[in-house]
Structure 1
Amino acid sequence: MPDAIFAHPRLVSVYDAFDGDRTDLLAYLGIADELGANRVLDIGCGTGCLAVLLADSGRTVVGVDPAAASIEVAKSKDPAARITWVHGDVTALPALDVDLAVMTGNVAQVFLSDDSWTQTLRGIREALRPDGHLVFETRRPARRAWTDWAADTDPVILDVPGTGPVEQRREVTDVSLPCVSFRFTYRFLSDGMVVTSDSTIRFRGRDEVESTLIAHGFRVLDVREAPDRPGREFVFIAERTT
Protein backbone atom coordinates (compact mmCIF):
# COMPACT_ATOMS: atom_id res chain seq x y z
CA MET A 1 0.00 0.00 0.00
CA PRO A 2 1.42 3.45 -0.90
CA ASP A 3 2.51 5.74 1.91
CA ALA A 4 -0.04 8.36 2.95
CA ILE A 5 2.16 11.16 1.62
CA PHE A 6 1.38 9.84 -1.88
CA ALA A 7 -2.09 8.39 -1.30
CA HIS A 8 -3.96 10.63 1.17
CA PRO A 9 -5.90 13.26 -0.84
CA ARG A 10 -5.09 16.04 1.60
CA LEU A 11 -1.36 15.30 1.59
CA VAL A 12 -1.17 14.84 -2.17
CA SER A 13 -2.78 18.27 -2.61
CA VAL A 14 0.25 19.90 -0.93
CA TYR A 15 2.94 17.46 -2.06
CA ASP A 16 4.30 19.58 -4.91
CA ALA A 17 4.51 22.68 -2.72
CA PHE A 18 6.72 20.93 -0.18
CA ASP A 19 8.69 19.06 -2.86
CA GLY A 20 9.87 22.44 -4.15
CA ASP A 21 11.75 23.34 -7.29
CA ARG A 22 12.26 20.22 -9.43
CA THR A 23 15.12 21.51 -11.56
CA ASP A 24 16.85 18.22 -10.65
CA LEU A 25 14.61 16.56 -13.23
CA LEU A 26 16.29 18.42 -16.07
CA ALA A 27 19.24 16.03 -15.77
CA TYR A 28 16.91 13.20 -16.77
CA LEU A 29 15.78 15.10 -19.84
CA GLY A 30 19.45 15.42 -20.76
CA ILE A 31 20.02 11.69 -20.30
CA ALA A 32 16.96 10.91 -22.43
CA ASP A 33 18.47 13.12 -25.15
CA GLU A 34 21.85 11.44 -24.75
CA LEU A 35 20.31 7.98 -25.15
CA GLY A 36 18.04 8.99 -28.03
CA ALA A 37 14.97 7.86 -26.11
CA ASN A 38 11.61 8.70 -27.68
CA ARG A 39 9.34 6.34 -25.69
CA VAL A 40 9.76 6.66 -21.93
CA LEU A 41 8.28 4.84 -18.94
CA ASP A 42 8.22 6.89 -15.71
CA ILE A 43 8.04 4.42 -12.81
CA GLY A 44 6.66 5.84 -9.58
CA CYS A 45 5.61 8.92 -11.52
CA GLY A 46 3.88 10.46 -8.51
CA THR A 47 2.23 13.77 -9.32
CA GLY A 48 3.65 13.69 -12.83
CA CYS A 49 6.35 16.38 -12.80
CA LEU A 50 8.88 14.44 -14.87
CA ALA A 51 6.31 12.79 -17.13
CA VAL A 52 4.95 16.21 -18.12
CA LEU A 53 8.45 17.52 -18.85
CA LEU A 54 9.14 14.49 -21.02
CA ALA A 55 5.87 14.94 -22.90
CA ASP A 56 6.62 18.66 -23.35
CA SER A 57 9.84 17.60 -25.10
CA GLY A 58 7.82 15.66 -27.68
CA ARG A 59 8.25 12.18 -26.25
CA THR A 60 5.68 9.42 -25.87
CA VAL A 61 5.32 8.83 -22.14
CA VAL A 62 3.73 6.24 -19.84
CA GLY A 63 3.52 7.11 -16.14
CA VAL A 64 2.80 4.37 -13.60
CA ASP A 65 2.21 4.75 -9.86
CA PRO A 66 0.45 2.65 -7.19
CA ALA A 67 -1.09 5.74 -5.51
CA ALA A 68 -4.40 6.64 -7.13
CA ALA A 69 -4.50 10.11 -5.55
CA SER A 70 -1.10 10.98 -7.04
CA ILE A 71 -2.22 9.76 -10.47
CA GLU A 72 -5.26 12.04 -10.28
CA VAL A 73 -3.04 15.06 -9.58
CA ALA A 74 -0.77 14.02 -12.45
CA LYS A 75 -3.74 13.78 -14.83
CA SER A 76 -4.77 17.32 -13.88
CA LYS A 77 -1.42 18.54 -15.26
CA ASP A 78 -2.07 16.78 -18.56
CA PRO A 79 -5.40 18.19 -19.80
CA ALA A 80 -4.66 17.16 -23.39
CA ALA A 81 -4.17 13.53 -22.26
CA ARG A 82 -0.82 13.23 -24.03
CA ILE A 83 0.48 10.84 -21.38
CA THR A 84 -0.75 7.31 -20.63
CA TRP A 85 -1.34 7.19 -16.87
CA VAL A 86 -1.44 3.77 -15.21
CA HIS A 87 -2.59 3.15 -11.64
CA GLY A 88 -0.54 0.17 -10.55
CA ASP A 89 3.05 -1.03 -10.56
CA VAL A 90 5.55 -2.03 -13.18
CA THR A 91 5.09 -5.75 -12.59
CA ALA A 92 1.57 -5.59 -14.09
CA LEU A 93 2.44 -3.65 -17.24
CA PRO A 94 2.26 -5.18 -20.70
CA ALA A 95 5.31 -5.25 -22.95
CA LEU A 96 5.53 -1.56 -23.86
CA ASP A 97 8.69 -1.69 -25.96
CA VAL A 98 9.89 1.63 -24.49
CA ASP A 99 13.35 3.04 -25.13
CA LEU A 100 13.92 4.20 -21.57
CA ALA A 101 12.56 3.51 -18.08
CA VAL A 102 13.30 5.98 -15.30
CA MET A 103 12.91 6.07 -11.52
CA THR A 104 13.50 9.49 -9.98
CA GLY A 105 12.94 10.74 -6.45
CA ASN A 106 14.76 7.68 -5.09
CA VAL A 107 11.80 5.47 -6.01
CA ALA A 108 14.27 2.56 -6.19
CA GLN A 109 14.58 2.68 -2.40
CA VAL A 110 10.93 1.86 -1.66
CA PHE A 111 11.46 -1.80 -2.62
CA LEU A 112 12.42 -3.20 0.75
CA SER A 113 12.72 -6.93 0.11
CA ASP A 114 15.00 -8.70 -2.31
CA ASP A 115 11.92 -10.26 -3.90
CA SER A 116 10.14 -6.95 -4.53
CA TRP A 117 13.30 -5.46 -6.07
CA THR A 118 13.75 -8.55 -8.24
CA GLN A 119 10.14 -8.44 -9.44
CA THR A 120 10.50 -4.74 -10.24
CA LEU A 121 13.65 -5.29 -12.31
CA ARG A 122 11.97 -8.12 -14.18
CA GLY A 123 8.92 -5.94 -14.89
CA ILE A 124 11.14 -3.12 -16.15
CA ARG A 125 13.09 -5.48 -18.38
CA GLU A 126 9.87 -6.75 -19.94
CA ALA A 127 8.66 -3.19 -20.58
CA LEU A 128 11.89 -2.20 -22.38
CA ARG A 129 12.74 -2.89 -25.98
CA PRO A 130 15.91 -4.94 -26.58
CA ASP A 131 18.90 -2.70 -25.80
CA GLY A 132 16.57 -0.22 -24.05
CA HIS A 133 17.85 1.65 -21.01
CA LEU A 134 17.03 1.93 -17.32
CA VAL A 135 18.10 5.07 -15.43
CA PHE A 136 17.51 5.65 -11.73
CA GLU A 137 18.94 7.28 -8.64
CA THR A 138 19.49 5.94 -5.13
CA ARG A 139 21.09 7.48 -2.06
CA ARG A 140 24.63 6.46 -1.12
CA PRO A 141 24.53 4.51 2.18
CA ALA A 142 27.94 5.85 3.20
CA ARG A 143 26.56 9.39 3.15
CA ARG A 144 24.20 8.43 6.04
CA ALA A 145 21.42 10.81 5.01
CA TRP A 146 19.32 9.73 7.98
CA THR A 147 21.70 11.52 10.36
CA ASP A 148 20.90 14.80 8.64
CA TRP A 149 17.19 14.04 8.78
CA ALA A 150 17.37 13.24 12.50
CA ALA A 151 19.19 16.50 13.23
CA ASP A 152 16.78 18.63 11.19
CA THR A 153 13.72 18.81 13.43
CA ASP A 154 12.58 22.35 12.65
CA PRO A 155 9.08 22.61 11.19
CA VAL A 156 8.51 23.97 7.69
CA ILE A 157 5.44 26.13 7.17
CA LEU A 158 4.20 26.99 3.69
CA ASP A 159 1.19 28.97 2.57
CA VAL A 160 -0.16 26.63 -0.10
CA PRO A 161 -2.48 28.20 -2.70
CA GLY A 162 -6.02 26.90 -2.28
CA THR A 163 -5.18 25.30 1.06
CA GLY A 164 -3.65 27.92 3.32
CA PRO A 165 -0.76 27.54 5.75
CA VAL A 166 0.49 24.00 6.35
CA GLU A 167 3.16 22.89 8.82
CA GLN A 168 5.38 19.91 8.00
CA ARG A 169 7.61 18.07 10.49
CA ARG A 170 9.86 15.08 9.86
CA GLU A 171 11.28 12.64 12.40
CA VAL A 172 13.40 9.53 11.98
CA THR A 173 11.57 6.72 13.76
CA ASP A 174 13.90 3.76 13.24
CA VAL A 175 17.33 2.97 11.84
CA SER A 176 17.71 -0.77 11.26
CA LEU A 177 20.11 -0.83 8.34
CA PRO A 178 19.79 -1.33 5.50
CA CYS A 179 16.33 0.14 6.20
CA VAL A 180 15.45 3.53 7.67
CA SER A 181 11.96 4.61 8.76
CA PHE A 182 10.67 8.16 9.17
CA ARG A 183 7.42 10.01 9.72
CA PHE A 184 6.07 13.20 8.21
CA THR A 185 3.43 15.06 10.21
CA TYR A 186 1.33 17.71 8.50
CA ARG A 187 -0.82 20.21 10.38
CA PHE A 188 -3.32 22.15 8.29
CA LEU A 189 -3.44 25.41 10.19
CA SER A 190 -6.68 26.60 8.58
CA ASP A 191 -8.71 23.90 10.34
CA GLY A 192 -6.24 22.15 12.67
CA MET A 193 -6.37 18.79 10.88
CA VAL A 194 -3.27 16.63 11.45
CA VAL A 195 -2.25 13.86 9.05
CA THR A 196 0.83 11.65 9.43
CA SER A 197 2.66 9.55 6.87
CA ASP A 198 5.08 6.77 7.79
CA SER A 199 7.71 5.57 5.32
CA THR A 200 10.51 3.02 5.20
CA ILE A 201 13.24 2.94 2.56
CA ARG A 202 16.16 0.63 1.89
CA PHE A 203 19.72 1.76 1.27
CA ARG A 204 21.60 -0.43 -1.20
CA GLY A 205 25.29 0.03 -1.91
CA ARG A 206 26.72 0.39 -5.39
CA ASP A 207 28.03 -3.18 -5.54
CA GLU A 208 24.68 -4.62 -4.47
CA VAL A 209 22.76 -2.59 -7.04
CA GLU A 210 25.16 -3.47 -9.84
CA SER A 211 25.08 -7.19 -9.02
CA THR A 212 21.28 -7.28 -8.98
CA LEU A 213 21.09 -5.43 -12.29
CA ILE A 214 23.50 -7.87 -13.91
CA ALA A 215 21.65 -10.84 -12.43
CA HIS A 216 18.36 -9.70 -13.94
CA GLY A 217 19.32 -8.96 -17.50
CA PHE A 218 21.01 -5.56 -17.48
CA ARG A 219 24.47 -4.27 -18.34
CA VAL A 220 25.67 -1.33 -16.23
CA LEU A 221 26.97 1.36 -18.56
CA ASP A 222 27.69 4.15 -16.11
CA VAL A 223 27.26 5.28 -12.52
CA ARG A 224 27.13 9.05 -12.13
CA GLU A 225 26.61 11.75 -9.56
CA ALA A 226 23.29 13.53 -9.28
CA PRO A 227 24.47 16.92 -10.56
CA ASP A 228 22.54 18.91 -7.95
CA ARG A 229 23.46 16.55 -5.07
CA PRO A 230 27.15 15.67 -5.49
CA GLY A 231 28.38 12.95 -3.16
CA ARG A 232 24.87 12.06 -2.01
CA GLU A 233 23.46 9.75 -4.67
CA PHE A 234 24.29 7.27 -7.39
CA VAL A 235 22.65 7.63 -10.78
CA PHE A 236 22.73 4.27 -12.57
CA ILE A 237 22.52 3.97 -16.35
CA ALA A 238 21.94 0.38 -17.43
CA GLU A 239 21.08 -1.33 -20.71
CA ARG A 240 18.79 -4.29 -21.19
CA THR A 241 20.72 -7.23 -22.56
CA THR A 242 19.12 -9.32 -25.28
Structure 2
Amino acid sequence: MPDAIFADPRLALVYDAFDGARDDLTAYAGIADELGADRILDVGCGTGCLAILLAAKGRSVVGVDPAEASLAVAKAKDGAAGVTWLHGDATTVGAIDADLAVMTGNVAQVFLTDDDWARTLRGIRGALRPHGHLVFETRRPERRAWEDWAADPARLTLDVPGIGPVEQRREVTGVSLPLVSFRYTYRFLSDGAVLTSDSTLRFRGRDEVAASLAAQGYRVLDVREAPDRPGREFVFVAERPPG
Protein backbone atom coordinates (compact mmCIF):
# COMPACT_ATOMS: atom_id res chain seq x y z
CA MET A 1 0.00 0.00 0.00
CA PRO A 2 1.62 3.31 -1.06
CA ASP A 3 2.11 6.01 1.56
CA ALA A 4 -0.60 8.69 1.71
CA ILE A 5 1.69 11.36 0.25
CA PHE A 6 1.63 9.37 -2.99
CA ALA A 7 -1.81 7.74 -2.80
CA ASP A 8 -4.04 10.50 -1.44
CA PRO A 9 -5.22 12.67 -4.37
CA ARG A 10 -4.99 15.91 -2.40
CA LEU A 11 -1.48 15.19 -1.12
CA ALA A 12 -0.25 13.98 -4.49
CA LEU A 13 -1.14 17.39 -5.94
CA VAL A 14 1.25 19.18 -3.55
CA TYR A 15 4.05 16.61 -3.63
CA ASP A 16 6.15 18.26 -6.33
CA ALA A 17 5.98 21.67 -4.66
CA PHE A 18 7.43 20.35 -1.41
CA ASP A 19 9.87 17.98 -3.11
CA GLY A 20 11.64 21.02 -4.51
CA ALA A 21 14.17 21.18 -7.31
CA ARG A 22 15.12 17.65 -8.36
CA ASP A 23 18.84 18.19 -8.88
CA ASP A 24 19.35 14.43 -8.82
CA LEU A 25 17.46 13.92 -12.06
CA THR A 26 20.15 15.52 -14.20
CA ALA A 27 22.59 12.93 -12.90
CA TYR A 28 20.29 10.09 -13.93
CA ALA A 29 19.84 11.59 -17.39
CA GLY A 30 23.64 11.72 -17.62
CA ILE A 31 23.92 8.06 -16.62
CA ALA A 32 21.39 7.16 -19.31
CA ASP A 33 23.61 8.97 -21.83
CA GLU A 34 26.72 7.25 -20.46
CA LEU A 35 25.15 3.80 -20.81
CA GLY A 36 23.60 4.52 -24.21
CA ALA A 37 20.15 3.64 -22.88
CA ASP A 38 17.26 4.21 -25.29
CA ARG A 39 14.51 2.23 -23.54
CA ILE A 40 14.18 3.04 -19.85
CA LEU A 41 12.02 1.76 -17.02
CA ASP A 42 11.38 4.20 -14.16
CA VAL A 43 10.39 2.09 -11.14
CA GLY A 44 8.37 4.06 -8.60
CA CYS A 45 8.04 6.92 -11.07
CA GLY A 46 5.71 8.89 -8.78
CA THR A 47 4.59 12.15 -10.34
CA GLY A 48 6.73 11.49 -13.40
CA CYS A 49 9.45 14.16 -13.23
CA LEU A 50 12.29 11.89 -14.40
CA ALA A 51 10.22 9.88 -16.86
CA ILE A 52 9.07 13.03 -18.66
CA LEU A 53 12.60 14.47 -18.65
CA LEU A 54 13.98 11.31 -20.25
CA ALA A 55 11.16 11.08 -22.80
CA ALA A 56 11.79 14.70 -23.83
CA LYS A 57 15.26 13.59 -24.94
CA GLY A 58 13.72 11.13 -27.40
CA ARG A 59 13.93 7.98 -25.32
CA SER A 60 11.26 5.31 -24.97
CA VAL A 61 10.22 5.46 -21.31
CA VAL A 62 7.95 3.29 -19.17
CA GLY A 63 6.96 4.65 -15.76
CA VAL A 64 5.43 2.29 -13.21
CA ASP A 65 4.01 3.18 -9.81
CA PRO A 66 1.51 1.60 -7.38
CA ALA A 67 -0.04 4.98 -6.46
CA GLU A 68 -2.83 5.95 -8.85
CA ALA A 69 -3.02 9.50 -7.46
CA SER A 70 0.63 10.13 -8.31
CA LEU A 71 0.17 8.68 -11.79
CA ALA A 72 -2.81 10.99 -12.33
CA VAL A 73 -0.57 13.98 -11.55
CA ALA A 74 2.10 12.62 -13.89
CA LYS A 75 -0.32 12.08 -16.75
CA ALA A 76 -1.58 15.67 -16.53
CA LYS A 77 1.88 17.19 -17.07
CA ASP A 78 3.26 18.60 -20.31
CA GLY A 79 5.20 15.88 -22.10
CA ALA A 80 3.35 13.05 -20.37
CA ALA A 81 2.13 11.65 -23.68
CA GLY A 82 5.69 10.59 -24.44
CA VAL A 83 5.72 8.12 -21.54
CA THR A 84 3.97 4.77 -21.15
CA TRP A 85 2.40 4.84 -17.67
CA LEU A 86 1.70 1.62 -15.79
CA HIS A 87 -0.20 1.20 -12.54
CA GLY A 88 1.67 -1.49 -10.63
CA ASP A 89 5.20 -2.25 -9.48
CA ALA A 90 8.36 -3.89 -10.74
CA THR A 91 6.83 -7.34 -10.43
CA THR A 92 4.01 -6.52 -12.84
CA VAL A 93 5.95 -4.91 -15.70
CA GLY A 94 7.06 -8.05 -17.50
CA ALA A 95 9.74 -8.42 -20.16
CA ILE A 96 10.07 -5.09 -21.99
CA ASP A 97 13.75 -5.38 -23.02
CA ALA A 98 14.70 -2.21 -21.19
CA ASP A 99 18.25 -0.97 -21.56
CA LEU A 100 18.10 0.68 -18.15
CA ALA A 101 15.92 0.59 -15.05
CA VAL A 102 16.16 3.32 -12.42
CA MET A 103 14.93 3.90 -8.89
CA THR A 104 15.38 7.46 -7.67
CA GLY A 105 14.81 9.17 -4.34
CA ASN A 106 13.77 6.80 -1.58
CA VAL A 107 12.26 4.15 -3.86
CA ALA A 108 14.86 1.46 -3.17
CA GLN A 109 14.35 1.87 0.58
CA VAL A 110 10.57 1.41 0.70
CA PHE A 111 10.95 -2.38 0.39
CA LEU A 112 11.14 -3.27 4.06
CA THR A 113 11.49 -7.06 3.97
CA ASP A 114 14.13 -9.16 2.26
CA ASP A 115 11.39 -10.94 0.31
CA ASP A 116 9.87 -7.72 -1.04
CA TRP A 117 13.29 -6.41 -2.05
CA ALA A 118 14.21 -9.71 -3.72
CA ARG A 119 10.91 -9.80 -5.64
CA THR A 120 11.49 -6.25 -6.82
CA LEU A 121 15.01 -7.03 -8.04
CA ARG A 122 13.74 -10.14 -9.84
CA GLY A 123 10.95 -8.16 -11.46
CA ILE A 124 13.37 -5.53 -12.71
CA ARG A 125 15.77 -8.21 -13.95
CA GLY A 126 12.92 -9.70 -15.97
CA ALA A 127 12.19 -6.30 -17.52
CA LEU A 128 15.79 -5.74 -18.61
CA ARG A 129 17.42 -7.03 -21.75
CA PRO A 130 20.62 -9.06 -21.35
CA HIS A 131 23.42 -6.64 -20.43
CA GLY A 132 20.79 -4.07 -19.42
CA HIS A 133 21.52 -1.95 -16.36
CA LEU A 134 19.88 -1.16 -13.05
CA VAL A 135 20.82 2.13 -11.37
CA PHE A 136 19.48 3.30 -8.02
CA GLU A 137 20.39 5.28 -4.95
CA THR A 138 20.12 4.37 -1.29
CA ARG A 139 21.05 6.35 1.82
CA ARG A 140 24.22 5.39 3.70
CA PRO A 141 23.19 4.03 7.13
CA GLU A 142 26.39 5.32 8.71
CA ARG A 143 25.39 8.88 7.79
CA ARG A 144 22.38 8.51 10.19
CA ALA A 145 20.10 10.85 8.26
CA TRP A 146 17.28 10.29 10.73
CA GLU A 147 19.19 12.25 13.36
CA ASP A 148 19.17 15.30 11.10
CA TRP A 149 15.45 14.78 10.47
CA ALA A 150 14.70 14.58 14.18
CA ALA A 151 16.74 17.71 14.93
CA ASP A 152 14.97 19.73 12.24
CA PRO A 153 11.15 19.50 12.18
CA ALA A 154 11.29 21.14 8.74
CA ARG A 155 8.13 23.20 9.14
CA LEU A 156 7.54 24.85 5.78
CA THR A 157 4.64 26.77 4.25
CA LEU A 158 4.31 27.09 0.49
CA ASP A 159 1.73 28.78 -1.69
CA VAL A 160 0.96 25.96 -4.11
CA PRO A 161 -0.48 27.15 -7.45
CA GLY A 162 -4.15 26.27 -7.78
CA ILE A 163 -4.36 25.09 -4.17
CA GLY A 164 -3.21 27.93 -1.94
CA PRO A 165 -0.97 27.98 1.13
CA VAL A 166 -0.07 24.59 2.61
CA GLU A 167 2.02 23.95 5.71
CA GLN A 168 4.22 20.84 5.95
CA ARG A 169 5.82 19.47 9.12
CA ARG A 170 8.06 16.39 9.52
CA GLU A 171 8.71 14.30 12.61
CA VAL A 172 10.62 11.08 13.19
CA THR A 173 8.24 8.60 14.81
CA GLY A 174 10.44 5.56 15.30
CA VAL A 175 13.98 4.26 14.92
CA SER A 176 14.44 0.50 15.09
CA LEU A 177 17.33 -0.11 12.75
CA PRO A 178 17.44 -0.96 9.97
CA LEU A 179 13.96 0.64 9.88
CA VAL A 180 13.26 4.35 10.39
CA SER A 181 9.71 5.75 10.46
CA PHE A 182 8.58 9.34 10.05
CA ARG A 183 5.41 11.35 9.53
CA TYR A 184 4.60 14.34 7.38
CA THR A 185 1.67 16.48 8.45
CA TYR A 186 0.05 18.84 5.94
CA ARG A 187 -2.32 21.65 6.85
CA PHE A 188 -4.25 23.26 4.00
CA LEU A 189 -4.69 26.83 5.16
CA SER A 190 -7.49 27.55 2.69
CA ASP A 191 -9.92 25.28 4.51
CA GLY A 192 -8.03 24.04 7.61
CA ALA A 193 -7.87 20.42 6.47
CA VAL A 194 -5.07 18.41 8.08
CA LEU A 195 -3.72 15.27 6.40
CA THR A 196 -0.88 13.02 7.52
CA SER A 197 1.39 10.59 5.71
CA ASP A 198 3.40 7.93 7.56
CA SER A 199 6.45 6.35 5.97
CA THR A 200 9.09 3.77 6.86
CA LEU A 201 12.42 3.29 5.11
CA ARG A 202 14.93 0.48 5.37
CA PHE A 203 18.60 1.47 5.58
CA ARG A 204 20.80 -1.19 3.95
CA GLY A 205 24.58 -1.04 4.06
CA ARG A 206 26.76 -1.21 0.97
CA ASP A 207 27.72 -4.86 1.45
CA GLU A 208 24.12 -5.89 2.10
CA VAL A 209 22.91 -4.20 -1.08
CA ALA A 210 25.71 -5.71 -3.14
CA ALA A 211 24.97 -9.19 -1.78
CA SER A 212 21.26 -8.82 -2.52
CA LEU A 213 22.01 -7.82 -6.11
CA ALA A 214 24.36 -10.77 -6.59
CA ALA A 215 21.74 -13.14 -5.16
CA GLN A 216 19.30 -12.04 -7.87
CA GLY A 217 21.75 -12.48 -10.72
CA TYR A 218 23.16 -8.97 -11.11
CA ARG A 219 26.77 -7.94 -11.47
CA VAL A 220 27.69 -4.75 -9.61
CA LEU A 221 29.76 -2.54 -11.93
CA ASP A 222 30.16 0.54 -9.79
CA VAL A 223 29.11 2.22 -6.55
CA ARG A 224 29.18 5.99 -6.85
CA GLU A 225 28.49 9.13 -4.88
CA ALA A 226 25.20 10.92 -5.44
CA PRO A 227 26.43 14.23 -6.92
CA ASP A 228 23.66 16.23 -5.25
CA ARG A 229 24.23 14.58 -1.84
CA PRO A 230 27.94 13.75 -1.51
CA GLY A 231 28.75 11.45 1.38
CA ARG A 232 25.09 10.70 2.05
CA GLU A 233 24.09 8.08 -0.51
CA PHE A 234 25.36 5.19 -2.57
CA VAL A 235 24.47 5.05 -6.26
CA PHE A 236 24.65 1.45 -7.46
CA VAL A 237 25.23 0.64 -11.12
CA ALA A 238 24.50 -3.04 -11.81
CA GLU A 239 24.22 -5.15 -14.93
CA ARG A 240 21.97 -8.04 -15.83
CA PRO A 241 24.29 -10.63 -17.37
CA PRO A 242 22.94 -12.75 -20.24
CA GLY A 243 21.06 -15.87 -19.37
* TM-score tier (shorter): over 0.9
Q: How far apart are residue 106 of structure 1 and its match?
A: 2.0
Is residue 2:166 matched to residue 1:166?
yes
- Partner amino acid, structure 2, of 1:17: A
Please identify runs of 4+ aligned residues in structure 1 that moved more than 6 A.
none
Q: Distance in 2 between matches of 1:123 and 1:61?
A: 17
* Aligned equivalent of 2:179: 179
Q: How far apart are residue 93 of structure 1 and its match?
A: 1.3
* Aligned equivalent of 2:111: 111
| Number of equivalent positions | 242
Q: Distance in 2 between matches of 1:235 and 1:6?
A: 23
Whether contact under 8 Å (2:93, 2:127) holds in the other structure is yes
In structure 2, relative to structure 1, the CA distance for the partners of 1:168 and 1:216 (3 Å cut) is same
RMSD after superposition: 0.8
Q: How far apart are residue 24 of structure 1 and its match?
A: 1.5
* Aligned equivalent of 1:235: 235
Q: How far apart are residue 80 of structure 1 and its match?
A: 6.0
Q: Distance in 2 between matches of 1:126 and 1:161?
A: 40
Whether contact under 8 Å (1:4, 1:198) holds in the other structure is yes
- Partner amino acid, structure 1, of 2:233: E
Whether contact under 8 Å (1:43, 1:102) holds in the other structure is yes
TM-score, length of structure 2 as denominator length: 0.98
* Aligned equivalent of 1:82: 82
Whether contact under 8 Å (2:52, 2:79) holds in the other structure is no
Q: Distance in 2 between matches of 1:64 and 1:115?
A: 20
Whether contact under 8 Å (1:106, 1:136) holds in the other structure is no
In structure 2, relative to structure 1, the CA distance for the partners of 1:75 and 1:15 (3 Å cut) is same
Residue segments in structure 1 that go unaligned for 5+ positions in a row: none
Residue segments in structure 2 that go unaligned for 5+ positions in a row: none
SS of alignment partner, residue 187 of structure 1: strand
Q: Distance in 2 between matches of 1:141 and 1:80?
A: 35
Q: Distance in 1 between matches of 2:28 and 2:79?
A: 23
Counting aligned pairs with the same residue, the percent is 76
Whether contact under 8 Å (2:8, 2:69) holds in the other structure is yes
* Aligned equivalent of 2:23: 23
Q: Deviations over 1:150-183 (max 9, x none)?
A: 0001410001111111000000000000000000
In structure 2, relative to structure 1, the CA distance for the partners of 1:80 and 1:65 (3 Å cut) is closer
Q: Deviations over 1:118-142 (max 9, x none)?
A: 0000000000000000000000000
Q: Distance in 2 between matches of 1:11 and 1:190?
A: 14
* Aligned equivalent of 1:2: 2
Q: Deviations over 1:37-73 (max 9, x none)?
A: 0000000000000000000111000000000000011
Q: Deviations over 1:98-135 (max 9, x none)?
A: 00000001200000000000000000000000000000
